[in-house]
């Protein structure tokens, strides 16, 4: 959490993206909780690996996609040749395919690993696949809206964390 906020901070508070880093990590954590909640709802059993390893693994995968989108958005957001309304779409056009490809590859690998006849490993693989699907949905559906709101904040030269001022 601290790493995500600190790496996105800038000396100019109007150009800083610390709140975006914080929101990204919190959204990934919520998607992990939602994915594990769905796994519990459909009856996939929990074990030590799924409760102690999977949240951190999914957090790493999700935060990587968040950083990728945030970096591309900071470059696209500064490009004045792109109309203001089209900058979010341009960012997703540049990075959406790579985020989708890595997420689909991870989901496929975890679903293939679920074919292994070891019950604990099967449960871990199924839960990891479900959590990666939730991460993917969060990164491509919710996080671009946060980035777009941050772009409006930066255009108005408002402060990062205290965006009301």
Q: Give the model's pLDDT for residue 72.
A: 82
Residues 94, 72 contacting (CB under 8 angstroms): yes
Among residues 53, 71, 68, 67, which one has the least CA distance to residue 131?
53
Crossing angle for the helix pair 18-42 and 54-77, to the nearest 10 degrees: 140
Q: Give the model's pLDDT for residue 9.
A: 52
Angstrom distance (rounded) from CA 150 to CA 160 = 8
Q: Give the model's pLDDT for residue 78.
A: 66
Sign of the alpha-carbon dihedral angle for 94, 98, 101, 104: negative
Residues 20, 8 contacting (CB under 8 angstroms): yes
Crossing angle for the helix pair 18-42 and 143-155, to the nearest 10 degrees: 170
Q: Give the model's pLDDT for residue 33.
A: 93
**What are the per-10-residue average pLDDT scores of the chain (165 residues)?**
54 60 86 93 88 89 86 73 76 86 94 92 93 93 84 66 50
Provide CB contacts within 8 A for 98, sequence distance 6+.
68
Q: Give the model's pLDDT for residue 39.
A: 92
Angstrom distance (rounded) from CA 125 to CA 127 = 5
């Amino acid at each position: 959490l601290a790493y995500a906020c600190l790496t996105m901070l800038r000396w100019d508070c109007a150009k800083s993206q610390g709140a975006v880093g914080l929101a990204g990590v919190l959204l990934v954590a919520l998607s992990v909780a939602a994915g594990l909640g769905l796994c519990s709802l459909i009856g996939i059993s929990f074990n030590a690996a799924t409760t102690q390893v999977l949240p951190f693994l999914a957090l790493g995968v999700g935060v990587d996609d968040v950083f990728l989108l945030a970096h591309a958005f900071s470059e696209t957001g500064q490009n004045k040749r792109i109309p203001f309304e089209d900058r979010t779409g341009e960012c997703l056009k540049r990075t959406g395919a790579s985020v989708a490809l890595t997420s689909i590859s991870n989901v496929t690998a975890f679903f293939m690993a679920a074919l292994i006849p070891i019950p604990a490993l099967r449960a871990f693989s199924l839960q990891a696949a479900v959590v990666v699907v939730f991460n993917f949905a969060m990164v491509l559906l919710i996080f671009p809206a946060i980035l777009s709101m941050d772009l409006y904040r930066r255009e108005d030269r408002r402060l990062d964390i205290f965006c009301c001022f």
